[in-house]
Amino acid sequence: MTEPLSFELSRPNAPSPRLPDADVSAPGPADLLPRDFLRTHPPDLPRLSEPEIMRHYSRLASLNYSISENFYPLGSCTMKYNPVANEAAAALPGYAGIHPYQDEDSVQGALELMWRLEQALSAVVGVDRVTLQPAAGAHGEWTALRMIQAYHRSRGDSRTEVLVPDSAHGTNPASAALSGFHVVEVKSGADGRISLADLESKLSSRTAALMLTNPNTLGLFEREILDIAELVHATGAMLYYDGANLNAFMGICRPGDMGFDAVHMNLHKTFTTPHGGGGPGAGPVGVKAELEPFLPTPTVERSNGHFELNYKRPRSIGRVRSFYGNFGMLVRAYTYIVAMGGDGLRQASEDAVLSANYLRKLVGEDLEMPHEGPCMHEFVASARNLSHDGVRALDIAKALLDREFYAPTVYFPLVVPEAIMVEPTETESKATLDSFARAIKEIVAEARSNPQALHDEPQKLPVGRLDEVAAARQINAYLQGSSDDPVLRWKRPSNEPC
Ligand SMILES: *Cc1c(COP(=O)(O)O)cnc(C)c1O
């Protein structure tokens, strides 16, 4: 079930791939590059024929788990189906074949797409303007916090703190810290929602912003959001919305209407562009009018039916990404939005919430549900009820892998012990949800009858249980200088010639 490395498969006499001759003639590469930068020996690369390379990578790909093969119930990550129509649109030569330095007049269609995507996203979240530049959710958070910082500074107000609830995604405090803010944690109440009393005690004239997700990472709607917004604004601070997952409310309610001043959206979650290893992300940020002057440069503007990039924005925080963002992702997201239409997006959210509540009910027969339902687009269960059998959330996650399901998010959010966070999304059928619930039932029964068997799973994958303790020890020893490097890459055996 494993595949050797290409270095191990390498044959010194394998025929080289047929590449066209370099079309750089006089002056040749040797004349263009400084002599010191030129290689004296060819690089030490593996040598395989074209079909051998293709088979090697195909075999590797078949070892991987992917959304195109199985259910991926990763809570907080919205792993929904990536429609193939998006790929066809992104591959159109007018999108795929253009260059960022091209004349604006020759890329009017691409600029129009960006402009229209901005309109669509603004309408979904209820803001005045959107920048499409940030390359991921965390990057969007950071971009928005820089704008909020610039806004306060422009008023001669140097606020130093950002409030973040204890249930927040880890990127929230990280983005705040990277923007130079001091992070202050706000506690959740017993019902899993933010504690208003704790929030009030932490708000002050030092507070630049409160970062919030609604529904929060427990999949619960913050019902007191209007009071929260009022409290935050009364101190002169801004309210930031972590909109990585908009799957609960598209077409139903909008962060802008709840009082949020800035929001990021993950196109690679809600708007079906590929995720993680599937390609680059995109984390557009929407803002209300008071933050608009600080948006990254350039913005896309329309005047008299002509589209142009506006670089003359003196109060802008500057550019946050080369060129205009991950354009291919923008094409995919726009294709999805147009294909769905406003009613379709609303239906997607309603189905996502229905799926989550349906699955929550089934899984609730076997795992603890620490918070009262109904939930929104995801739910958090706890494996705490299995601890007397010596079984943990990690064991359940590993056992699911053997049953052809990807593992849900585990041990997050941190406020729930032995957390198992599930987001089924709207794109999965009832039959898939039923079989997932059956797998959980089977695993929990095994936890009670034969916990040791569970500790030994997965058995059917190329790699079973990794020794995480040994790995952590070795990394620590390496960092303290008392062990060799962890082996993370192939090295030519010293007795073998190059
Ligand atoms: C995924 C996620 C993020 C971070 O998005 P990235 O694109 O991974 O940087 C932030 N907040 C929440 C709630 C998320 O689910």
What's the average model confidence in pLDDT over 53-62?
92
Q: What angle do CA 405, 409, 413 make, to 5 degrees?
A: 160
**What gap in Å lies between CA 49 and CA 229, rounded to an integer?**
62
Q: What is the predicted pLDDT for the residue at 32?
A: 76
pLDDT tens-digit map of 449-473: 999 999 999 999 888 898 888 888 8
CATH code that applies to domain 85-340: 3.40.640.10
Question: Tokens in use for 2?
Answer: 């494993």
Query: How far, in Å, CA of 155 to CA of 145, rounded?
Result: 16
Q: Which residues line ligand 1 (CB under 6 A)?
A: 76-77, 136-138, 169, 171, 213, 217, 242, 244-245, 266, 281, 283
pLDDT at 138: 95
pLDDT tens digits, residue range 370-390?
998 899 999 999 999 999 889
CATH number corresponding to 353-455:
3.90.1150.10
Find the 321 Cα to ligand 1 centroid distance in Å. Answer: 18
Residues 282 and 276 sit within 8 Å (Cβ to Cβ): no
Q: Cα 425 from chain centroid?
A: 15
Tokens of 76: 């907080």
In DSSP terms, 129 is beta-bridged to: 287
The span from the CA of 228 to the CA of 248, in Å, is: 20
User: How is the chain split into domains, by residue range?
Assistant: 6-40+47-62, 85-340, 353-455
Alpha-carbon span 192 to 197, nearest angstrom:
14
Which are the contacts of 411, defined by CB distance < 8 A and separation ≥ 6?
A: 393, 394, 418, 419
Residue 141 Cα, ligand 1 centroid: separation in angstroms?
9
What CA–CA distance (Å, rounded) separates 299 from 74? 34
Query: Please, where are the H alpha helices in 282-372?
Result: 327-363
Burial grade of 482 (CB within 10 A; 0-12, 13-18, 19 or more): exposed
Radius of gyration of the chain (CA): 26
Report the pLDDT value the prediction gives residue 24, as an integer from 0 to 100.
66
Q: Name the residue with the closest Cα to ligand 1, atom 8.
A: 137
Decide: 204 and 182 in contact? Cβ < 8 Å: no
The predicted model scores a pTM of: 0.90
Give the whole-angstrom CA distance, residue 198 versus residue 195.
Answer: 5
Q: Please determine, for residue 485, whether its predicted confidence score (pLDDT) is greater than 90.
A: no
